[in-house]
Chain A
Amino acid sequence: MAQYLLSAHSVDGVVQEPMTQEQVMDVVQKVYALEAEMKSNGTWMFGGRLADADTATVVRVQNGSVMTTDGPFAESKEHLGGFYLINAPDLDAALKWASRVTEIVGAPIEVRALVDEPKS
């Protein structure tokens, strides 16, 4: 079994059509149902939705001491918005889950494998 990170990315400044209360509820329900399915068959490892990127804080070592600054780390317009960490037998299975996520949330999903842990 391999592990994959499915990450949803949002682009700063892209204002989406505001959703109605009903549409929000519909998305939330579908997300819950999908996550329940992931949990029921061992796919789910972890997941979450992140607070906006402009609320991030960065710590780094500078001149031997740890500095804390206002984030985000990367000066990019695209930011990680949320993610799932899943178990899947291969990329095809991971892509199938990713397809279902993108169909619900509308954002593109990047799929990346975790490096296999060397067997001890």
Chain B
Amino acid sequence: MNPSPEDVGRIFREEFGRSVAALIRFFGDIDVAEDAVQEAFTAALQKWPVEGLPPNPGGWITTTARKRAIDRLRREKRGRELLAEAAWQSNGSTESEETGPMQDERLRLIFTCCHPALATEAQVALTLRLLCGLTTKEVADAFLVAEVTMAQRLVRAKRKIKVNHIPFRVPERDNLAPRLVPVLAVVYLLYNAGLCEEAIRLARIVDTLMPNEPEVAGLLALLLLTESRRASRIAADGSLVLLAEQNRSRWDRSLIEEGQEIVRRCLRRNTPGPYQLQAAINAVHSDAPTAEQTDWPQIVALYDQLFAVAPTPVVALNRAVAIGEVDGPAAALAQVETLDLDSYHAFHATRADLLWRLGRGGEARTAYRRAAEMAPTEAEREFLARGGRSAR
């Protein structure tokens, strides 16, 4: 059966990053690569639904896009210069890509998109556009900004890459650890912004291409384990369901197994980092058949380790919650009260919950109100405004 236009669109989104990366490598120019893949998409929309899928759709896209771009560039002076440079740099690469395996250039591209010289919002926008193949409008919608604003942000980011000669390259060994930090941060940020599918896809790509980086594996495991609970996190009426009250039979077992297997591999490697430790904490939760059976002392121990490598107030807050499950709400509240997190809704929600458990209802209600005022999503706002856990 021949593919429908929707199928063609889906295949293009899947193959977009790989093709754009291959063409950036070939032409040394992001705009040329993007336009060329777009032209190949138009060509595929006419051809595939009639003639059927080529044997290697990804290879077809890259080869077609490259031919189209070369034809177009030959017609302009600046284009001929670019082509001369490209030919010199690529040393006449092969034409057999349509059927054979292709060099995966996406790892270079993600390090370019997440270069520390770019602002975080630019890193995120470039990654979604170039690696995930989202349209400018889709990227804009994901971050609730106008399409024209996002278009400008992308243009500015690409210009910065161009004028500064930001390289299209995986960083050298001695510079890899600091350069990996923004890459992982962008992927995690995408997940937390609700782009769960894209984030997991990217984490898988980076993990496949960098199998010896334990923090990459840690991030992938963290995303898989968090994702395993997504369906049970939101109730039928759209309200938030706390971990302790979730229907654990609805957790996705295959995601949990995959995540836990990665966590076990990380433990054997024994080079802990923030993402691996957060993944390990999630693995302990997903191990417990009921909330009461959660191994809280183990979770406290992992939070101790996490706080040692990432001593942030937010980690301290989560650690306090775990302490509350082991030593009781009074011990937890004593820790929470020392934290300087007045502008963080989860701080007030945690405080409210502990106050309520200690029978200090009036103070709890005030804290729940403050938390509700600051909550970032409608589901959280509603949950907290009703008095959070105390209302159950």
Q: Does A89 contact B (CB under 8 A)?
A: yes
Please name all residues of chain B whose beta carbon is closer than 8 Å to the beta carbon of A116 when the two chains form the complex: 163
Contact check, B171 vs A92: say whether CB atoms are below 8 A apart: yes
Chain A residue at minimal CB-CB distance from B117: A91
Instruction: Give the CA-CA distance A116 to B28 in the complex, in Å.
Output: 15
Q: Does B81 contact A (CB under 8 A)?
A: yes
Q: Which one of A2, A91, A111 has the highest number of Cβ atoms from chain B below 10 Å of its Cβ? A: A91
Contact check, A95 vs B165: say whether CB atoms are below 8 A apart: no
Please name all residues of chain B whose beta carbon is closer than 8 Å to the beta carbon of A12 when the two chains form the complex: none
Number of A-B contacts (CB under 8 A): 27
Please name all residues of chain B whose beta carbon is closer than 8 Å to the beta carbon of A2 when the two chains form the complex: 164-165
Please name all residues of chain B whose beta carbon is closer than 8 Å to the beta carbon of A53 when the two chains form the complex: none
Chain A residue at minimal CB-CB distance from B84: A119
Please name all residues of chain B whose beta carbon is closer than 8 Å to the beta carbon of A113 when the two chains form the complex: 163-165
Q: Does B311 contact A (CB under 8 A)?
A: no
A89 CB, nearest partner CB in chain B, Å: 7
Contact check, B117 vs A89: say whether CB atoms are below 8 A apart: no
Instruction: Give the CA-CA distance A109 to B81 in the complex, in Å.
Output: 34
Instruction: Give the CA-CA distance A78 to B60 in the complex, in Å.
Output: 54
Chain A residue at minimal CB-CB distance from B168: A90
Which residues does B use to contact A, with CB under 8 Å? 81, 115, 117, 163-167, 169, 171, 175
A86 CB, nearest partner CB in chain B, Å: 13
Q: Can you spell out 27 A-B residue pairs with CB atoms less than 8 angstroms apart?
A: A2-B164, A2-B165, A89-B165, A89-B167, A90-B165, A90-B166, A90-B167, A90-B169, A91-B115, A91-B117, A91-B164, A91-B165, A91-B166, A91-B167, A92-B166, A92-B167, A92-B169, A92-B171, A92-B175, A95-B117, A111-B164, A113-B163, A113-B164, A113-B165, A115-B163, A116-B163, A119-B81
Chain B residue at minimal CB-CB distance from A112: B164
Please name all residues of chain A whose beta carbon is closer than 8 Å to the beta carbon of B163 when the two chains form the complex: 113, 115-116
Please name all residues of chain A whose beta carbon is closer than 8 Å to the beta carbon of B175 when the two chains form the complex: 92
Top-3 shortest CB links A-B: A90-B167, A90-B165, A2-B165
Instruction: Give the CA-CA distance A48 to B167 in the complex, in Å.
Output: 28
A81 CB, nearest partner CB in chain B, Å: 22
Instruction: Give the CA-CA distance A84 to B50 in the complex, in Å.
Output: 60
Instruction: Give the CA-CA distance A115 to B83 in the complex, in Å.
Output: 20
B269 CB, nearest partner CB in chain A, Å: 28
B22 CB, nearest partner CB in chain A, Å: 20
Chain A residue at minimal CB-CB distance from B85: A119
Instruction: Give the CA-CA distance A95 to B167 in the complex, in Å.
Output: 12
A91 CB, nearest partner CB in chain B, Å: 4
Given A91-B164, A92-B171, 18 additional A-B pairs, CB 8 A = A2-B164, A2-B165, A89-B165, A89-B167, A90-B165, A90-B166, A91-B117, A91-B165, A91-B166, A91-B167, A92-B166, A92-B175, A95-B117, A113-B163, A113-B164, A113-B165, A116-B163, A119-B81
Instruction: Give the CA-CA distance A92 to B349 in the complex, in Å.
Output: 44
